[in-house]
Chain A
Amino acid sequence: MQRNSRSSRILAGALALPIIGALIAGCSSTGSTDSTAQSKEPVTGGTMVYASGDAEPSCLDPHVGGNYPQALVASQYLESLFTKDANGQIIPWLAESTEVSKDGLTRTIKLRDGITFTDGTKLTAEAIKANIKHLKDPNTASSTGYLAVGKVVSIDVKDELTAVLKLSAPDNALLESLSMPWTAIESPKALERDQATNCAGPVGTGPFKVKSWEHQKAVNLVRNEDYVLPVANGERASSTAYLDGITWRFIPEAATRYAALQSGEVDVIDNAQPDTISSAANAGLGHLDAPRPGSSNRIELNSSKVPFNDVKVREAFIRAVDANTGVSALFFGTAKRSNSLLSSVEPLAYSDESLFTTDTAKANQLLDEAGWSERDAEGYRVKDGKRLSLRFPVSTNQSVPAEQSLFEQFQAQAKAVGFEVKIDLLDLSSWYGALAKHEYNLVSAPYTKVGPSVLRVLYHSDSTVPAPSGYFANNAQVKNEKLDKLLTEAEETEDEAQRASLYEQAQKIVLEGYYVLPLYDQQNHFLYGKNVHGIGTTTAVSSPVYFDTFLDQ
């Protein structure tokens, strides 16, 4: 085993890191004019009230299940082995260093010394072992975390602070996977409790800890008085959070959430809607725009059935709609049009605008060529007596009103060239049901994972095979041997330049095959009151951490 170039670069990156303020995981606070945050002297004290519009998690341990609402709250009391710096590079966090064997099958992780969990347990290599075991245990019912550590077959504890992970295949995305809150490290002692108890109060090393959980109302977090910041932050190397605590409330109604922020009943809200964001700027409220990593928000075209099994029809649909105008008008300038499969915070994102320009003349020509040359009485194209009809199930839980309006615009634009688009607004279960039964031609499904390896989850032909629950991630049903090979090699290489090149080739195949219409980054918008300062530090999945945050007293 030897230290290769990749792990040394990571170490160098960590040492070169000047202050943790730069750890704003590639999320510039666009629209935010928080100049007071820098000039203001931080004050200790006060309880911040955070209002989430996401569903209340059924378990506060993000190992169980593994969705974004869990990541948002867990980032306050749990920490990961790795995280992302301002340039989108992965750096060690609870880990101190890491190295990988030449064959890529052995990954050694050394932990920082002197960190303890809030139950007093010391952070040791045993914790890594217990956590990965917990993720892989079917009874934990982990989804995101389970997939992330899928290639880890065994964990050896070499010494108190060193764990050696054996992999079934090389996985250069492992550190990215271990930077996510869904693989965060919890106290092994706490993990031994039964699941219900652990769900109600997971024990981590974060700047806050869970004090109590009042169902449907709030999770009460208090400051971890013994917090040790893993990576030095100038003068704040070993200090604790400024806030006494956070009241993490659940306010499902967007209008109520914003009214509560305006009246000062709450300090920060998430899931801010585009129209609210633009009016908040006028009201002098702060705005943090933290796009999620992984995939962009996009419409996928199901290539496994008529009519999208014909690339000409796929291109015709994409050329028929005008996403640029729709996005800028409906999102009030809060979302930037994407022409990439990956989020703008992913360094390896490849973009090609020319593929997605609107051209109705070309759309009509392509449809004629594809044999959809006749039209019925209602103006829709027909072929062999069948109408050019598309089913578009839309999840009302995942799609904001502005996005639903955008889809309606697409519907009208596609009609002009002869497509019939049937939009079905569905609850989440019915929506998954429609996908599992392949009752869709178009679909918009979010997927958050750190790093370009999300491409393998979404576009490798393996992902067209449903899990026992019926779930599959490759909604576009891309089956391409060359692409499969590229994605596998891209995950196994330890050469950074080669990795970038392989992922670029892979993205080109998907984009140029017109399987996907990219729209914009996954939206993560936070609004905060004038009394709130120092918001901006985020985890690798762009979930804010309130370690640096303080309130006017």
Chain B
Amino acid sequence: MCTIAWAGRKVGGALVVLWLVATAIFIAIRLIPGDPAEAIMGGPGSQASAEALAAARAEYALDQPVLAQYVLYLGKLITLDFGTSYSLKQPVTQVMGEVLPNTLWLSLLALAAAWLMALCFAAAATRSNRFGSWLGNLLEIIAAAVPHFWLGAVLIMLFSSALGWLPAVDNGSAQGLVLPVLTLALPLAGFLTQLMRDSLAEAMGSQFALAARARGESRLKLFWRHGLRHAALPALSLTGWAFSSLLSGAVVVEAIFARPGLGRSLLSAVLARDIPMVTGIALFSALVYILVMALAEGLERIINPAGDQR
């Protein structure tokens, strides 16, 4: 399969998905009860006058027919204009731009930490006995299953309140990042380890590994050269999914640890019925998901050029 054709197919698919997501958001927003003009005028329960509401409707083109609004909306999206936030009265792209680095940084660190932990655990699992393997398996399942919300609260209780080692809230320092990153990374690490350990054990115990060992290759070298490649593949193909799960986890983690970010913007935008803001973040998340999936697939093609004929 030619790489250019592959890339072209990806881009085309991505555009279709984005259009569908944008349309779904547009329809969903129209189905939500409540008057958007009211949200513009300071949220529910605002005692805005009739003329103020009318002015708000005109300003955001809410007085136009639905189809016209849809065309207008898509037209703006094509030029990457997400409009002006109802609650912050600032361009959505500007607000997102301010907080995006925080969330990206948090997610990337958490992804790296999760991968590192998963590799260590998976490697350790190949050497453990039956009981160790059973215990490891149990811990992985627990780690993969704990909700971010609960884990964050427990980590704060342990490391901030009881031990006083780490700050509970973001204070701009590197220490402030440790607990949020751990909260995001631990469940993901549990999940990735589950994926890796079986293929790793399989690779390390396979005929070619035995042959390599017989040739005198060290266990560590074998692990890096062969085992890892096998173990990484299933985990890598799920990294796209994992990354988008980190973005949704960021909503919770940013609220718990009082960090500015895309997740917290989304939460407050939903509460304020800030339609442009919600639309912007949702579309952006979809775009990131598509990009990361494509990247993961590309990486897979590089690591395993033979492919699985998939």
Interchain CA distance A65-B46 in the complex, whole Å:
7
B164 proximity list for chain A (CB < 8 A):
263
Flag if B271 contacts A427 (CB, 8 Å). yes
Q: Contact: B169 with A265, CB < 8 Å?
A: yes
Q: Given A216-B264, A216-B265, does the pair A259, B42 have CB atoms closer than 8 Å?
A: no
Please tell me which stretch of A84-92, A135-143, A238-246, A515-523 contacts chain B, meaning at least 4 of its Cβ atoms lie within 8 angstroms of it.
A135-143
Question: Which residue from chain A places its CB closest to the CB of B42 in the assembled complex?
Answer: A65
Could you say which of A27-35, A329-337, A428-436 contacts chain B?
A428-436
Q: State the main secondary structure of chain B at its contact with A.
A: loop
Q: Which residue of A lies closest to B98 (CB)?
A: A215
- Residues on B with C-beta less than 8 A from A259 are 156-157, 160-161, 168
Asked if B89 and A58 make an inter-chain contact with CB atoms under 8 angstroms apart, the answer reads yes
Closest to A466 in B: B47
Q: Assess whether B273 is interfacial by the CB under 8 Å rule.
A: yes
Do residues A263 and B161 form an inter-chain contact, with CB atoms below 8 A?
yes
Q: Give A284 Cβ to nearest chain B Cβ, in Å.
A: 15
Q: Is A146 an interface residue (CB 8 A)?
A: yes
Query: A438–B79 Cα gap in the complex (Å)?
Result: 42
Q: Distance (Å) between the CB of A227 and the closest chain B CB? A: 29
For A216, list chain B residues within 8 Å (CB): 99, 259-261, 264-265, 268
- A196 nearest CB across to chain B (Å): 5
Chain B 20-66 residues near chain A, CB threshold 8 A: 33-35, 38-39, 41-53, 55
How far, in whole Å, are A215 and B99 apart by their CA atoms in the complex? 9
Interface size class of B (residues with CB under 8 A): 35 or more
Q: Do residues A262 and B90 form an inter-chain contact, with CB atoms below 8 A?
A: no
Q: Which residues of A contact B51 (CB under 8 A)?
A: 138
Question: Which residue of B has the minimal Cβ distance to A250?
Answer: B258
- The distance from the CB of A167 to the nearest CB of chain B, in whole angstroms, is 20
Interfacial chain B residues near A74, Cβ < 8 Å: none
What are the residues of chain B within 8 A of A252 when measuring CB–CB?
A: 255, 258
B87 within 8 A of A: yes
* B99 A469 Cβ-Cβ under 8 A: no
Neighbouring B residues of A265 by C-beta, 8 Å: 160, 167-169, 171
B residues 143-193 touching A (CB-CB < 8 Å) = 153, 156-157, 160-161, 164, 167-171
Who on chain B is nearest to A445 by CB? B45
Q: Does B95 contact A (CB under 8 A)?
A: yes
Distance in angstroms from B305 CB to nearest chain A CB is 44
Q: Are A469 and B260 in contact (CB under 8 A)?
A: no
B303 at the interface (CB under 8 A from A): no
Extra 12 A-B pairs, beta carbons < 8 Å, given A138-B52, A249-B258, A260-B258: A138-B51, A141-B52, A146-B47, A196-B90, A214-B260, A216-B261, A252-B258, A253-B256, A265-B160, A265-B167, A429-B271, A432-B44
A-B contact pairs, 13 of them (CB 8 A): A55-B268, A64-B42, A138-B55, A141-B41, A216-B99, A249-B169, A256-B256, A256-B257, A259-B157, A265-B171, A428-B45, A468-B50, A470-B35
* Residue positions of B touching A, CB distance < 8 A: 33-35, 38-39, 41-53, 55, 87-90, 95, 98-99, 153, 156-157, 160-161, 164, 167-171, 255-261, 264-265, 268, 271-273
Task: Give chain A's interface residues, CB within 8 Å of chain B.
Answer: 51, 55-56, 58-59, 64-65, 138-139, 141, 143, 146-147, 195-196, 199, 214-217, 249-253, 255-256, 259-260, 262-263, 265-266, 397, 427-433, 467-471
